[in-house]
Amino acid sequence: MKKKVAVVFGGRSVEHEVSVITGLQVIENIDKEKYDVIPIYINKEGKWLTGDALLDFENFKNDNLKGLKEIILTSIYNDNKIYLHPEKIGLFSKKLIDNIDVVFPALHGTNGEDGTLQGVFELLNIPYVGGSVLGSAVGMDKIMMKSVFKAYELPMVDYIWFFRRKWDENKEEIIKEAEEKLGYPVFVKPANLGSSIGISKATDREKLKEAVEIAIRYDRKIIIEKGVENPREINCAVLGYDDKIKTSVCEEPVGWQDLLSYEDKYIKSNSKSGKGDRRIIPADLKDNIKEEIESLAKKAFMAVDGRGVARIDFLVDKDENIYVNEINTLPGSISYYLWEPAGITFKDLINELIEIAMEVHREKNKNMYSYDVDLFKQIDIKKKSIKS
């Protein structure tokens, strides 16, 4: 019997549009012989919607999303299913739209990639693809991510960070700290965002001020990173769960040094291989550099309790020093193109991700969630103490 997979996409995020693209790519490439797909679209107002109109990308292009039903989710904890109900029930309307066996989140950025959505599915006790609440949250917050990587002694560029409030109160203090500790050039980023949105390169004091003013529009926490001179960017994906993990081939994005824009990432970078394209796959690396990157990718993945798939981005300087730049958990990066050289198609990758989700869910349900002790009889609420 086919399992029912809900692909959730859209969301209240500046990365809404790319999330729609990711969701429809997953729906297009999922194994239809193994799974029935239920599309769930979260619009920019935060409404959860489903309907066949979501399956056609042209409807998004033409703003022609008609006949969609607004839904709410419920579950029976031991049933391991989610039930979709109409948000508003009329006298003759169906009380149940469908049920779901597993969820494939495809929401980029805020409220989707940061552990928020994952927490919903944890509470519903439903299998879901990709990182845990913890792994997603740490992977999304660049400051927390770097703190974890530092604890695991992973190599990183120097950085400072601060709250938006501090910038408003004392810009000069932050600028002085950045200049003394990092110098120029630097990259300024919102702590919680992806797709290059809000990120700028600064080569002097005035550009640094401009870069921070852009970044603080998107987050209350800002990070400033030391720029590496003429670096190569090398990316490597990791797939698996716990210590059963493997690495993909490495890629080298071409022409990124001045910072890839949102358009560069999602429109211009469709080329998949060969020199002169937007990506070189596999990257031309010495064996020792390739092996070190693969090892660091696995360590970074395990450091955030990774599961499913994630892409880890590296910088390699002219002296061949390697720095971990960041980890992009699913759905920030499905990275199917990094697995294709190993014979793993997009369809195969989706299958494996769903299988990992089911395995993680089985493992979770081995945990004990009750502890039999007659605590109520030991507590006097009025005295706010436990009888010894």
Q: Which CATH number fits domain 3-128: 3.90.420.10, 3.40.50.150, 3.40.50.20, 3.40.225.10?
A: 3.40.50.20
Q: Is there a binding annotation on residue 201?
A: no
Is 133 among the annotated ligand-binding positions?
Answer: no
| CB-CB contact of 73 with 99 (8 Å) | no
pTM exceeding the 0.85 threshold for the entire prediction: yes
Active-site option among 132, 136, 195, 200: 195
Active site residue 195: yes
Q: What is the DSSP letter of 175?
A: H
pLDDT recorded at residue 83: 81
Confirm whether residue 273 is marked as ligand binding: no
Strands 3-10 and 102-105: parallel
Q: Does residue 231 have a known ligand-binding role?
A: yes
Catalytic residue among 113, 333, 335, 340: 335
- Fill in the DSSP letter of residue 67: S
Is 10 annotated in a binding site? The answer is no
User: Is 226 assigned to a binding site?
Assistant: yes
Residue type at position 362 = R
The CA-atom distances, in angstroms, between 38 and each of 81, 127, 159, 353 are 13, 15, 43, 17
CATH number of 230-364: 3.30.470.20
Q: Which residue do the tokens 């979501």 mark?
A: 54
pLDDT at 366: 86
Q: Where in the chain is the domain with CATH 3.30.470.20?
A: 230-364
**Tens digit of each residue's pLDDT, the chain (388 residues):** 899 999 999 999 888 999 999 999 999 999 999 999 999 999 999 999 999 999 999 999 988 899 999 988 888 766 667 788 886 655 445 567 788 899 999 999 888 889 999 999 999 899 999 999 999 999 999 999 999 999 999 999 999 999 999 999 999 999 999 999 999 999 999 998 765 788 999 999 999 999 999 999 999 999 999 999 889 999 999 999 998 999 999 999 986 455 554 444 444 444 444 444 588 999 999 999 999 999 999 999 999 999 999 999 999 999 999 999 999 998 767 889 999 999 999 999 999 999 999 999 999 988 877 777 777 777 777 776 555 5
Indicate the class that CATH gives domain 158-226. alpha beta
45 catalytically annotated = no
292 is known to lie in a ligand binding site:
no
What is the per-residue pLDDT for 277? Answer: 55
* Nearest alpha-carbon partner for 15 in 247, 190, 209: 190
First vs last C-alpha separation in the chain:
55
Structure tokens at 88: 């508003």
What single letter denotes the amino acid at residue 175? I
Question: Known catalytic residue: 385?
Answer: no
